[in-house]
Amino acid sequence: MTFSIIGRCAQSGQFGVAIASSSPAVAARCAWVRAGVGAVSTQNVTNPALGAAMLDRLAAGDDAAAAVGAARAADAHPEFRQLLAIDAAGRTAVHSGARALGIWTSAEGRDCASGGNMLAQEGVPAAMIAGFEAAGGTLGDRLIAALRAGADAGGEAGPVHSAGLLIADRQSWPYADLRVDWLEEDCPIAALAGIWQIYRPQADDYVTRALNPDAAPSYGVPGDDR
């Protein structure tokens, strides 16, 4: 019921996840990032606890394969899970359990990995990797491009209703945490891409406001605390 991509920007050090699903609020359960550590996705009959567990293992020094392996071994039902991880060095790993739903597959590329279940066709993750690697711009731009490429390749077998983009930079809080938790008829991926276009020019300013308010640009609105 989900297709996703995790990625790293070797230049900025950012990590991110872009994800879409027929289920509501998919990013709230499945997307996980940590500054300086990595990005992971836990999906398909999702156990959200595995997201934090994989990041903890990466933070402790495990590579992506070891982190995914430890999460799989610790889970009571790994045959239902689909797990993706990328570590600080850009190494990736994916686990897809034998009881993943529908058509399920994955693909790995340079600084990225993609996976999905209940897919329209097996080539969706590979299309997302190609979209990520071909795109320019920021990490967020490339993740959105990959999500769109997955949708263009068929995406999920059923209608997509939610999508999300989660990015970590250098701070303990997300650099971007953008979600479309439910749309009945319109495409949430297009909506998410539009939100990112609005948010992207202001993202660095929000960080500056947190760290050094005197240096932050003013929008001239009394009482503005964004």
DSSP conformation letters of 165-223:
EEEE-SSSS-SEEEEE---SSS-HHHHHHHHHHHHHHHHHHHHHHHH-GGGSPP---TT
pLDDT in tens, 155-187: 999 999 999 999 999 999 999 999 999 998 779
Mean pLDDT of 128-132: 98
Residue 105 has pLDDT above 60, yes or no: yes
What does the mean pLDDT of the chain come to? 95
pLDDT in tens, 25-73: 999 999 999 999 999 999 999 999 999 999 999 999 999 999 999 999 9
Residue 218 pLDDT exceeds 80: no
Q: Which domains does the chain have, with CATH numbers?
A: 2-211 (3.60.20.10)
User: Which 8-state DSSP code applies to residue 224?
Assistant: -
Closest CA to 50 of 5, 19, 80: 80
H/E segment holding residue 100 = none
